């Protein structure tokens, strides 16, 4: 067990970021999504970047869901897209890998963009 890890409540963190920034988000979030992080500051920077990225795509709200599943927490952000996308920053996956968090995105031109973060409930040693 790594005693240097700090457990973070993902729902509370997302609400706190939104309270500071006033982003236009439709929320649907489960309770109990608490995840241990060894580098909380790095994770907050990545999450903040992804929320700002989604919010910058157009003037209407995007959807954000946080699901407590049997084997993981799943954070998903989805937005309708009607134009070209700005390039996502390099290194997101690499920054999240030490925390055992996976990042992927799905884009269908002219239709939607979905960003997903998966947090395994049982982390590797």
Query: What pTM does this model have?
Result: 0.90
Give the lowest-confidence range in 7-21, 38-52, 70-84. Answer: 70-84
pLDDT the model gives residue 122: 75
User: Which class for 86: exposed (0-12), middle (13-18), buried (19 or more C-beta within 10 A)?
Assistant: exposed
- Write out the H or E segment, with its range, that includes residue 17: helix 10-21
Cα 99 from Cα 94, distance rounded (Å): 10
Per-residue pLDDT reduced to its tens digit, 58-115: 778 999 999 999 999 999 999 998 777 888 999 999 999 999 999 999 998 888 999 9
Residue 47 contacts residue 31 (beta carbons within 8 Å) = no
The domains of the chain, with CATH numbers, are 6-120 (3.30.565.10)
């Amino acid at each position: 067990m790594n005693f240097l890890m700090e457990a973070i409540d993902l729902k509370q963190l997302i609400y706190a970021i939104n309270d500071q920034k006033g982003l236009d988000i439709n929320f649907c979030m489960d309770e109990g999504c608490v995840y241990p992080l060894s580098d909380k500051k790095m994770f907050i920077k990545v999450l903040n970047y992804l929320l700002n990225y989604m919010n910058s795509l157009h003037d209407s709200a995007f959807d954000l869901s946080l699901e407590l599943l049997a084997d993981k927490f799943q954070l998903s952000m989805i937005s309708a897209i009607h134009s070209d996308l700005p390039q996502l920053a390099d290194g997101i996956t690499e920054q999240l890998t030490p925390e055992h968090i996976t990042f992927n995105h799905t884009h269908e031109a002219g239709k939607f963009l979905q960003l997903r973060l998966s947090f395994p409930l049982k982390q590797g040693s």
